[in-house]
Structure 1
Amino acid sequence: MSARIVFLDCNDQLRPVFDAVARADDPPIHVNSTPFASDDLPRLLHGCDICIDDHSYMPSEIVARCGDLRHIVFLGTGPQSYMDVEALRRQGVTVHAIKGYGDTAVAEHAVALMFACARDLARMDRNIRSGAWRPREGVQLKGKRLGIVGLGGIGAEMVRIARGIGMEVLAWNRTPRPDVGPPMAIEDLLKTADVVSLHLALSEETKGFLDGARLAMMKRGAILINTARGALVDEKALADALNDGHIARAGLDVFALEPLRADHPLAKLDNVTLSAHSGFRTYEASATLLGRALDIVRRLAAQRSSP
């Protein structure tokens, strides 16, 4: 049997983008749009050596039963949230991530969450739909301090947008970025920022970065925005800080376990605005993402075919 290439989890939004960026001379790619459980992976990937994965979990012990699989092309920057990259490498499976495709899209989504939190838009929307007319006082962002944690491509876009709307930018990065401003201790940023926006990559060093102690350092009444990775934050400590008002509001696009359950403590709080890990989902970003994914697939397929 010749090796197959499978797009494991192409949803309705990605399918037209995929069709638009695919080329006639691409190697054949089987596109699966049917929902599946992790236990179905050996069946779906039977005879497959290259798979495209759009945020489906890939447990190492199940991937081990996919005997032909050699490459996973992950549609995003953080496969670590969905698979154990190092364990897969030891099993002979290489994970390919794609960086920089959606920096502007994610930054714009973070800003949208920031405005929604500042004006309590989601709660007013819920109130009106339930028949309650309750105007709520908001926060004016011009002149406020935005603390940006992580100055990669997305963080740099946040700097540009925040300065454009008249916010004072505070920034922390694991390596100094003098082009953005003088080095600042994370503790000082948390204590002084009116809004904190997370843009760190997830790693063993950053997992649980914003724990209970650091959340307690935040300025009382501050807003927290997370469009990076859910595991950067201690979710229980965050729920406690939101409950007691130490953190006024949070705008969250990412969670430690996705999809977020309806009974999760964060989903029950009125001062939390939620979105479904969609910060990177614009047509423009998706076209760039899938275009780069197909570039990787073409290269891998060509290597496979070389003598």
Structure 2
Amino acid sequence: MRKNVLLLETVAEEALAILHENVNVFTGYDEASLKNVLNNENIHAIITRGKGLINKPLIDACPHLQAVARCGVGLDNVDVARATERKIKVINAPGSNAATIAEHTLALMLMGMRNMYESVSQVKQDNWNWRNQYAGDELNGKTLGVLGMGNIGKRVARLGEAFGMEVLYWSKSAQDLPYKYMALEDVLQYADVVSLHLPFNTETDRIIGEKQLGLMKTGALLINTARGALVDHAALLEALNSKSIAGFAADVLPDEPPVQSRAIVEHPRAIVTPHSGSLTTATYRQICLLTINNVVAVLTDKQPEPNSIYNRSALQ
């Protein structure tokens, strides 16, 4: 008997085709359609991307659930604890976005350090004479501080090194890497660019606050392509207004789309992209295919890739 899969968001066409070949597909893109599906179908797997919430009420509304999945890496929008209690497999795509997020991080560094956004804007306004007042610098010779040395952090470190930067890092523990491990406070004090690549949890919630921003150089840039809530945005706004740091560039915010964060988005020394770092054609396709193939494997009694089951050890 074909199993039933609930999609909370769209996925890449090739991934959707694989689903249709193997399972029955239902969509719950809005509250009304979601309620209709839950009232009429037994759901065996739920798939989301970044917005659709797989929370406790939704999990408990599906007594036949075998898997919940996110086409992505982080699982902030999935109640992993409740799924694990129910012996439900939690599937994601670890490592699949490392290359694209690292590239996006370097792009933000370059834009911030070279004041590129303002330069492009001025030229579009027919102000070629902006070059006479241009102020910017280069990454070569600067110190890069990487906070979090997972797949993305390591790749950012290598790219920074290729640009001629000295790399310092802090993470939960020191690793066997060709970069200098330092205390968090020391990385903040010495780095010209601080780049965040930490997971979000109770320990990292607003890990960059007033005290930490105060340790940074006045000419330093803060880059965040990890999770918006890693940074205390009230303290960040004050740091930007007082010019205690030079600038901020991010692909993530605590609230998306931004409402409370509008002051940061509109700040003249901030550059914010719309959480689009993983939305390149290649990575979007790869993330969706990896996730969907592993969901189908679970539902058809085949072997999924071991690393794709986030709570594998807890279920054994």
Same fold (TM > 0.5): yes
Report Cα offsets for 1:43-86 as digits up to 9, x if no partner: 34543221210112414335544555442211111112x24332
CA 178–138 in structure 1, closer or farther in 2 if over 3 Å, else same: same
Give the structure 1 partner of residue 95 of structure 2.
Answer: 100
Query: Aligned partners of 1:274, 1:101: CA distance in 2, in Å?
Result: 23
Which secondary structure state, in structure 1, belongs to the residue aligned with residue 94 of structure 2?
coil
Report Cα offsets for 1:128-175 as digits up to 9, x if no partner: 555655343111111000111111111111111111111111111211
Query: Aligned partners of 1:48, 1:106: CA distance in 2, in Å?
Result: 33
Query: Aligned partners of 1:27, 1:187: CA distance in 2, in Å?
Result: 52
Give the structure 2 partner of residue 212 of structure 1.
Answer: 210
Give the structure 2 partner of residue 239 of structure 1.
Answer: 237
Whether contact under 8 Å (2:3, 2:299) holds in the other structure is: no
Stretch deviating more after TM superposition (59-68 or 153-162): 59-68
Give the structure 2 partner of residue 42 of structure 1.
Answer: 35
Give the structure 2 partner of residue 152 of structure 1.
Answer: 150
- With normalisation by structure 2, the TM-score equals 0.83
Query: Aligned partners of 1:47, 1:25: CA distance in 2, in Å?
Result: 17
- State whether structure 2 residue 73 is matched by structure 1 residue 77: yes
Cα shift at 1:126 = 3.9
Give the structure 2 partner of residue 166 of structure 1.
Answer: 164
Report Cα offsets for 1:254-285 as digits up to 9, x if no partner: 11122223862212211111111111222222
Whether contact under 8 Å (1:171, 1:180) holds in the other structure is: no
Whether contact under 8 Å (2:224, 2:250) holds in the other structure is: yes
- Amino acid in the other structure paired with 2:34: L
Stretch deviating more after TM superposition (191-200 or 58-67): 58-67
Give the structure 1 partner of residue 15 of structure 2.
Answer: 18
- Amino acid in the other structure paired with 2:15: F
Query: Aligned partners of 2:261, 2:125: CA distance in 1, in Å?
Result: 20
Query: Aligned partners of 2:15, 2:208: CA distance in 1, in Å?
Result: 36
Question: Equivalences for 1:244-259 in 2 at 5 Å?
Answer: 244-259=242-257
- State whether structure 2 residue 111 is matched by structure 1 residue 110: no
Cα shift at 1:6 = 2.6
Number of aligned residue pairs = 296
Query: Aligned partners of 2:206, 2:261: CA distance in 1, in Å?
Result: 22
Give the structure 2 partner of residue 5 of structure 1.
Answer: 5
Cα shift at 1:111 = 0.2
Query: Aligned partners of 1:192, 1:73: CA distance in 2, in Å?
Result: 40
Alignment RMSD: 2.7
CA 268–66 in structure 1, closer or farther in 2 if over 3 Å, else same: farther
Whether contact under 8 Å (2:147, 2:169) holds in the other structure is: yes
Cα shift at 1:110 = 0.2
Whether contact under 8 Å (1:198, 1:228) holds in the other structure is: yes
Q: Percent same amino acid among aligned pairs? A: 29
Stretch deviating more after TM superposition (132-141 or 272-281): 132-141
Cα shift at 1:232 = 1.1
CA 43–257 in structure 1, closer or farther in 2 if over 3 Å, else same: farther
- With normalisation by structure 1, the TM-score equals 0.85
Which structure 1 residue ranges, 5 or more long, are not aligned? Answer: none
Query: Aligned partners of 1:253, 1:76: CA distance in 2, in Å?
Result: 15
Stretch deviating more after TM superposition (254-263 or 142-151): 254-263
Which secondary structure state, in structure 1, belongs to the residue aligned with residue 181 of structure 2?
coil
